[in-house]
Chain A
Amino acid sequence: MSGFLEGLRCSECIDWGEKRNTIASIAAGVLFFTGWWIIIDAAVIYPRMDEFNHSYHACGVIATVAFLMINAVSNGQVRGDSYSEGCLGQTGARIWLFIGFMLAFGSLIASMWILFGGYVAKEN
């Protein structure tokens, strides 16, 4: 039973080949912009503050900022082996990436908190 999961390596099952980055970009674009249009839809349908507190938009904004921060640094800059150092150097790139991930996880935790604290708890 210990070798049960060894046959489930999905990165070798699907032969992505040269198209991996393109498919990942398309999937990321669909998810990101669908998320933003759902936010816009909620803001349009519930314009009043007592129905939908519009300060909750901060989660989406911070998540977008984090997404841009994380994608601004490349793996080569963090490992230190890229041809150009960037304006912050390797340590700066690592700190930038760290802050980016912290903002991303923070916005995720904040949105979960809003879901349970602002909506699920109020219904009960």
Chain B
Amino acid sequence: MAGIKGGPGALSPGGLGCRSERGDGGPTRGPHAVSRDPARAAGLPALAADSRLPPTATPASDLRPPGRALISLSFGGAIGLMFLMLGCALPIYNQYWPLFVLFFYILSPIPYCIARRLVDDTDAMSNACKELAIFLTTGIVVSAFGLPIVFARANLIEWGACALVLTGNTVIFATILGFFLVFGSNDDFSWQQW
């Protein structure tokens, strides 16, 4: 136990709670790497490892990975919605109650986006805001799984339809999570899109 990380004290050099969530940021930040890195190195000391990355070579090679990720994420979203619609529209089921989970799909990114917009620095209040957003997002995800189960137990929909809707839920939430991991991990998100 003590030999794995050199003692319980030496955990991680940075102080950010969300540092390790910024996974695949390298190739997507290519064109902006030169202008962004000094600002980020000054404001976010825990990302010093990222600012030492060399800017990627050609613009053409930077466009393909985001495009590929976008296409696979949109495919995942289409598959998830396909499962949801199958659960509603198959002739043996023919009940449109499960469409209420669309409400939860739309609601699920909102707490995290609001928290990221409201607090950008690293004091205790921002961590509390981020954790509240994670709590609410988890609640919305659990509700999206619970609603079809309650419908099926109340015999409003069949259990087969419930299973299809739950599969669709899993795929859609994996897609939304993938979207945030791939596209949400750069600072350009909050300046350009809003």
Please list the residues of chain A having a beta carbon within 8 angstroms of any beta carbon in chain B. Answer: 12-13, 15, 17-19, 21-22, 24-26, 28-30, 32-34, 37, 40-41, 44-45, 74, 76
Asked whether A18 lies within 8 Å of B146 as measured between CB atoms, the reply is no
Listed by A's residue number, 18 A-B pairs whose Cβ atoms lie within 8 Å are A13-B1, A15-B4, A15-B5, A15-B11, A17-B12, A21-B17, A22-B134, A25-B131, A28-B135, A29-B134, A30-B138, A30-B142, A33-B138, A33-B142, A41-B153, A44-B153, A45-B153, A45-B154
The interface centre, meaning the residue of A15, A19, A37, A76 with most chain B CB atoms within 10 A of its CB, is A37
The interface centre, meaning the residue of B8, B150, B154 with most chain A CB atoms within 10 A of its CB, is B150
Asked whether B143 lies within 8 Å of A44 as measured between CB atoms, the reply is no
Asked whether B154 lies within 8 Å of A32 as measured between CB atoms, the reply is no
Asked whether B154 lies within 8 Å of A34 as measured between CB atoms, the reply is no
- Which positions 99-153 of chain B face chain A at CB distance < 8 Å? 124, 127-128, 131-132, 134-139, 142-143, 146-147, 149-150, 153
Contacts A17-B11, A18-B17, A26-B138 given; indicate if A33 touches B143 (C-beta within 8 A). yes
- Collect the chain B residues with CB atoms within 8 Å of residue A21's CB: 17, 127, 131
- Collect the chain B residues with CB atoms within 8 Å of residue A19's CB: 17, 20
Asked whether B134 lies within 8 Å of A12 as measured between CB atoms, the reply is no
Q: Is B16 an interface residue, CB under 8 A from the partner?
A: yes
Apart from A26-B135, A32-B135, A76-B124, 6 more pairs, CB < 8 Å: A12-B8, A25-B131, A25-B138, A29-B138, A37-B142, A44-B154
Min C-beta distance of B125 to chain A, whole Å: 9
A28 CA to B137 CA, complexed, in Å = 11
Contacts A18-B11, A18-B17, A21-B127 given; indicate if A12 touches B146 (C-beta within 8 A). no
Q: Is B32 an interface residue, CB under 8 A from the partner?
A: no
Majority SS of interface residues in chain B? helix
- Collect the chain B residues with CB atoms within 8 Å of residue A29's CB: 134-139, 142
Majority SS of interface residues in chain A? helix
A71 CA to B108 CA, complexed, in Å = 22
The interface centre, meaning the residue of A21, A22, A28 with most chain B CB atoms within 10 A of its CB, is A22
A100 CA to B8 CA, complexed, in Å = 34
- Collect the chain A residues with CB atoms within 8 Å of residue B149's CB: 37, 41
Query: Looking at the complex, which one of B1, B124, B127, B128 makes contact with A12 (CB distance below 8 Å)?
Result: B1
Min C-beta distance of A51 to chain B, whole Å: 14
Closest residue of B by beta carbon distance from A19: B20
Asked whether A22 lies within 8 Å of B11 as measured between CB atoms, the reply is no
Closest residue of B by beta carbon distance from A11: B8
Min C-beta distance of B186 to chain A, whole Å: 20
- Which positions 141-171 of chain B face chain A at CB distance < 8 Å? 142-143, 146-147, 149-150, 153-154
Contacts A25-B131, A28-B135, A29-B135 given; indicate if A34 touches B153 (C-beta within 8 A). no
Min C-beta distance of B101 to chain A, whole Å: 13
- Collect the chain A residues with CB atoms within 8 Å of residue B64's CB: none
Query: Looking at the complex, which one of B8, B17, B134, B146 makes contact with A34 (CB distance below 8 Å)?
Result: B146
Min C-beta distance of A83 to chain B, whole Å: 9
